[in-house]
Amino acid sequence: MGTQPGMEPAALHDGEASEPDALQEQRLDAVAGRLLDCGATSVLDLGCGSGELVARLAAEARFERIVGVDRSPSILATARERLGPVVDGTRVRLLCASFAEADERLAGFDAAALVETLEHVDPGRLALVERAVFAGYRPRTVIVTTPNREYNPRYGLAAGAMRHPDHRFEWDRARFGRWARGVGARNGYAVTFAGIGAADESYGCPTQMALFRQRS
Domains and CATH numbers, the chain: 7-214 (3.40.50.150)
Please identify every stretch of the chain with a pLDDT value under 70, giving residue numbers as ranges. 1-20
What was the pLDDT predicted at 216? 76
What was the pLDDT predicted at 74? 96
What was the pLDDT predicted at 16? 31
What was the pLDDT predicted at 20? 56
pLDDT tens-digit series, residues 105-135:
999 999 999 999 999 999 999 999 999 999 9
Rounded CA-CA distance 86/32 in Å is 17
Rounded CA-CA distance 168/162 in Å is 9
From 86, 124, 105, 91, select the one nearest 46 (Cα to Cα). 105
What was the pLDDT predicted at 11? 43
Q: What is the pTM of this model?
A: 0.90
Which string of DSSP letters, residue by residue, matches 184-197? HHHHTEEEEEEEES
